[in-house]
């Protein structure tokens, strides 16, 4: 990281010598990936990559070039910058573009990497899948159980400098994410899922993953699958399901670009900062110093210092992310944070802290949803979305699981979801929501292990006659 910072410092001085504005960003990853498909450990890959982006600005014109690689020749990049500076005057003018802002810039190097994690853990990853396969083969022979999944771990980092800064900043850390799916091939190919994510090797707990799969499997074996009619139901969402709901709500409610372009669910006139938007039981924050979150980033990829950033406090709107400089320039706003760098947390409540307590609390028919698959927006300006339950959906009544259900189609809106919170669990869990495209970039959400929402609209199921 220090070598890259030295390179960026030299390129920054070169940009300054040309009397223009500009920035240089470098990102890199070192990833191990093992996949399993139907009990076959099929892919074991190592990916090391990096990219360097140079952006030049002058007189409301800009030009960007991207270079891939892990090392670069200084002279080559200086010549590229010189050539770009000659082309820059020919670029179209953006009338609303403003100069680079030097507010809240960080300094220094942040290294949160776990060295035990970034060692070559390929054998450990392969042995994990083998241990799960062997466990279910030995405990339930000839039951037609097949395991699939992916185990990814590695390190990533980014370096940044622009002409308002004297020295480049850098961030480096590590993470892992695991998803395993058990398919019941002799039981209509029913599927069960367990997952885990963490930022150091001590967070890897294979027994917890196996125990969760066992819980889901035995519950399905011991109950009958039934179908339910469309309607409004009280639902308990797992932390994975709640994380999906909270983050997707954030995309269209807390994204300043959608607010300014009037393409999101909030309107500045009807939903100003300080307005009561959701239930007083709902608090959502982005705080890189919170000990309960993982994948902490105290600076953005563009060098902004990140501090505690409350989003909703007891349902009251406190902040919105303004991440994109071009949009902020257009609407005369300041970049204040970056959504993709966020450490989101749905704060715990006073509800049941474990599955046993959840069951005891339920007397009326209530659905448990362990996972929501493929959330999509049906009408973003009204907060409307759709998604399906998957990997374990149960009907609870009078303190016990009565049956398991066909996958459910949820059609609702976030105003309804976050205004009808009955309770949120006392304990929290972490969910990996990172994209599998591009360079490694961990993104997770911390949320209550269980969240009970009343009156959720179910429009259909996967049941077929």
Condensed to tens digits (0 to 9), the pLDDT of residues 366-385 reads: 999 999 998 999 999 999 99
Q: What is the rounded average pLDDT of the residues 315-326?
A: 95
pLDDT at res. 316: 98
Name the pLDDT band for 104 (thresholds 50, 70, 90): low
Lowest mean pLDDT among 77-91, 185-199, 228-242, 307-321: 185-199
pLDDT at residue 59, as a whole number: 85
The mean pLDDT value for 96-116 works out to 79
SS3 302: coil
Q: What percent of the chain has pLDDT over 90?
A: 81
Contact predicate 57/44, CB 8 Å = no
pLDDT at 105: 58
pLDDT of amino acid 418? 98
* pLDDT tens-digit readout, 405-459: 999 999 999 999 999 999 999 999 999 998 766 778 889 999 999 999 999 999 9
**Average per-residue pLDDT for the chain:** 93
204 close to 430: Cβ distance less than 8 angstroms: no
Mean per-residue pLDDT, 3-9 = 94
Of 113, 112, 105, 111, nearest in space to 168 by CA: 105
Least trusted range by pLDDT, from 12-16, 283-287, 295-299: 295-299
361 touches 400 (CB < 8 A): no
Report the DSSP pairing between strands 384-389 and 408-413: antiparallel
User: Quick check: 285 pLDDT over 60?
Assistant: yes
Residues with Cβ within 8 Å of 357's Cβ and at least 6 positions away in sequence, in order, are none
The SS3 call for residue 247 is helix
DSSP 100: P
Are 369 and 241 a contacting pair, CB within 8 Å?
A: yes
Instruction: Give the integer Cα–Cα distance in Å for 451 and 231.
Output: 20
pLDDT (average), residues 305-314? 95
pLDDT band at 111, cuts 50/70/90? confident
Closest to 53 measured CA to CA, from 84, 31, 30: 84
Q: Which residue has the tokens 């590590």?
A: 174
Residue 120 pLDDT = 74
Q: What is the rounded average pLDDT of the residues 182-189?
A: 91
Distance CA 15, CA 105 (A): 19
**What is the reported pLDDT for 299?**
87
CATH topology of domain 2-222: PmbA/TldD fold (3.30.2290)
- What pTM value is reported for the model? 0.94
CB 442 within 8 A of CB 434: yes
The yes-or-no verdict on residue 345 having pLDDT over 80 is: yes
The residue among 445 and 121 whose pLDDT is bigger is 445
Sign of torsion over alpha carbons 331, 336, 342, 347: negative
pLDDT at 222 over 60: yes
- Residue 136 pLDDT: 95
Mean pLDDT of 125-144: 94
pLDDT at residue 214, rounded to an integer: 95
Domain map (residue ranges) of the chain: 2-222, 225-461
pLDDT digits (tens, 9 = 90+) for 34-64: 999 999 998 778 889 999 999 999 989 999 9
pLDDT in the model for residue 279: 98
Instruction: Tell me the mean pLDDT in the region 16-27.
Output: 96
Helices (H) and strands (E) in the chain, counts: 10, 23
Residue 103 scores a pLDDT above 60: no
Strands 344-346 and 224-226: unpaired
pLDDT band for position 115 (cuts 50, 70, 90)? confident
For the stretch 260-273, pLDDT in tens is: 999 999 999 999 99
């Amino acid at each position: 990281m220090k070598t890259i910072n030295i390179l960026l410092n030299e390129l920054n001085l070169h940009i300054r010598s040309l009397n223009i504005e500009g920035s240089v960003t470098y990102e890199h990853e070192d990833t191990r990936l093992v996949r399993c498909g139907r009990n076959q450990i099929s892919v074991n890959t190592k990916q090391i990559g990096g990219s360097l982006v140079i952006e030049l600005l002058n007189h409301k014109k800009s030009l960007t070039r991207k270079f891939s690689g892990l090392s670069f020749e200084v002279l080559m990049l200086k010549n590229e910058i010189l050539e770009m500076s000659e082309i820059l005057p020919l670029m179209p003018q953006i009338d609303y573009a403003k100069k680079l802002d030097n507010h809240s810039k960080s300094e220094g190097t942040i290294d949160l990497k776990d060295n035990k994690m970034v060692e070559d853990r390929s054998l450990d990853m392969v042995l994990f899948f083998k241990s799960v396969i062997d466990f279910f083969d030995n405990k339930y022979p000839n039951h037609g159980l097949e395991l699939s999944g992916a185990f990814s771990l590695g390190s990533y980092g980014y370096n940044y400098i622009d002409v308002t800064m004297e020295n480049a900043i850098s961030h480096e850390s590590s993470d892992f994410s695991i998803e395993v799916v058990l398919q019941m091939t002799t039981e209509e190919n029913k599927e069960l899922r367990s997952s885990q994510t963490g930022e150091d090797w001590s967070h890897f707990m294979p027994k917890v993953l196996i125990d969760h799969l066992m819980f889901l499997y035995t519950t399905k074996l011991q109950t009958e699958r039934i179908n339910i009619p469309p309607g409004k139901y009280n639902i308990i969402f797992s932390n994975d399901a709640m994380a999906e709901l909270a983050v997707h709500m954030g995309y269209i409610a807390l994204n300043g670009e959608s607010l300014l372009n009037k393409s999101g669910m909030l309107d500045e006139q009807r939903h100003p900062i300080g307005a009561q938007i959701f239930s007083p039981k709902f608090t959502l924050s982005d705080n890189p110093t919170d000990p309960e979150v993982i994948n902490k980033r105290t600076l953005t990829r563009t060098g902004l210092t990140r501090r505690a950033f409350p989003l909703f406090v007891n349902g009251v709107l406190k902040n919105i992310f303004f991440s994109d400089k071009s949009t902020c320039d257009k609407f005369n706003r300041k970049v204040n944070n970056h959504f993709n760098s966020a450490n989101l947390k749905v704060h715990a409540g006073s509800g049941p802290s474990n599955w046993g307590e959840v069951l005891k609390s339920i007397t009326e028919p209530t659905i448990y949803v362990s996972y929501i698959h493929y959330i999509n927006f049906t009408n973003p300006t009204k907060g409307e979305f759709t998604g399906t339950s998957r990997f374990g959906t149960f009907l609870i009544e009078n303190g016990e699981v009565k049956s398991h259900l066909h996958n459910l189609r949820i059609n609702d809106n976030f105003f309804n979801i976050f205004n009808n919170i009955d309770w949120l669990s006392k304990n929290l869990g972490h969910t990996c929501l990172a994209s599998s495209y591009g360079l490694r970039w961990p993104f997770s959400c911390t949320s209550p292990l269980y969240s009970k929402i009343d009156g959720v609209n179910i429009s259909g199921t996967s049941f077929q006659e």
